[in-house]
Structure 1
Amino acid sequence: MSKPYDLPSLGDLACFEAAARNLSFKLASTELNVTPAAVSHRIKALEHELGQALFNRQYRGVELTEAGALLFVSLQRGFETISESVTRIRSRHDRTGVSIAATTAMSGLWLTPRLAAFWKAHPGVAISQLIQDDQKAQGVDLSIHYGDPEAEDDETRVLFHDRILALGTEQFARSYGIARLADLSDVPLIHTQSGVNPYTEWPEWFAYLDRPAPRGPGFFLNNYLISLQAAEDHVGAVLGWEGLLGSHLGSRRLVPLVPDEMPSPHPFYLRIHGRASANARLFADWLAEH
């Protein structure tokens, strides 16, 4: 009887995936709790069975060959599907609760303030928040993102699509004499560059308003909440989403520095993962409505 799947040793494949993901036999051995020699032996056995090299061995490390890259992508997709299924099976014993992933900024500024109102309407539904600034959002019912919801394979709900304003303190505005758009060209600006979230940045904002790129000093941070704190401390101007920063604007901790604004190129949206329960969908509909 022939085998239903044309696969090498699953142990060899798992070893290869760890080495390819880390681009290091040593790091793979640490992750798998085996020796680097054992990792090398398994990968050589896999290469022998496939009849071609999967890695180019170099003095400073390894890199994937074309065949290795093809196999790695296929394994990642397969392992991600298996991981999702395992998570779903493990969580079946309790599907009354809802898990939702969001960035630190989205959770602190928008999601958490709304939970009290949801619990008042639905006191029997427990909500678990996971802070995932890398946007991978795995193993949860729901996740919040800033970007293009049409690019998702899962069902989505748009939460809000608003205006991007140049914000700062009233003291900062007075110190630099800011009253119109041209006044922002040479003042200190706070840039949020997280590396994973496609935040709209100052050059895009100025370009939309037909202004050249800013020339003033820049302060570069990788966390939006810290960027807001820096702006509150009069360090510089920061870009802000009106719908995200209602409490800051309402309390005048930050104020619009100029009347000019840019419509956000992307909405904040909710992704409904395949594992989502009925309570998760209830919460998703409530968030989108409110």
Structure 2
Amino acid sequence: MATVWTGASRLPAAPADQGIGPLLRAWRQRRGVSQLDLALRAGSSARHISFVETGRSRPSEEMVLRLAEHLDVPVRERNALLLAAGYAPHYPETPLDDPSMDALRQGMERLIQGYEPYPALIVDATYDVLAANRGIALLLEGVPASLLAPPLNAMRLTLHPEGLAPRIRNLRAWRGHLIEQMTRQIALHRSDALRELYEEVTAYPVPEPGEPAETDVPPAYFALPLCVEHDGHVLNFVSSISTFNTPMDVTVAELAIETLLPADPATAKYLQSRAN
């Protein structure tokens, strides 16, 4: 399976018509930061932060960006804060197929291909698979074509009862990890698309404790393993997710590279033998 790039899904920004005050207050409260703490971090005053939140004062563009940085607001939502304050967006959103993205795409493609025979994939903010290597193709052998039709979605492929779910030996634990991850993303992005995906995958059936999909789970590793059957073998992986440091583009900020590291020598040996 060659690496195949598809278009990234675009999350809508938060509505700007309510003004920056309510948006800023929501982010501050979400982070558990008081007006005084935020003011001290941003070199402002609690009075000014209060005036911004109540609409009595309009912050400068520089102050909006500074507050967003100290509240660790996602890049897309920083643009929303700027729009709500009456300024133009600061961060561009460049399509992945734009020529200016050639170096980025080629670099990520080399990364996931260089990781073979171990699985690696690239997803966007809604968990749509933008690119994957041959290790991922191996795990997806036998998955119905209907689930493999573009756009592939990593959450759907993993948790759908006709996807990988029946082969995952620790499905309840792995499902819980993925649902928690989606919950955090929904809190950050407030996306209808993410919410719909969450409602879809949480409605999939879950095995009861003691059912076949929950038996023979190996002992604990240094991280929660993904234990998946393949051709009579149980393969054990731990997942690592990489994102870009200090992204200056919305598209780049929402890309993630997930690699599945073999959690034991038997898994590594099996994947290496299948690659030969």
TM-score, normalised with respect to structure 2: 0.31
Name the structure where strand makes up a greater proportion of residues.
1
TM-score, normalised with respect to structure 1: 0.30
Larger gyration radius, structure 1 or structure 2: 1
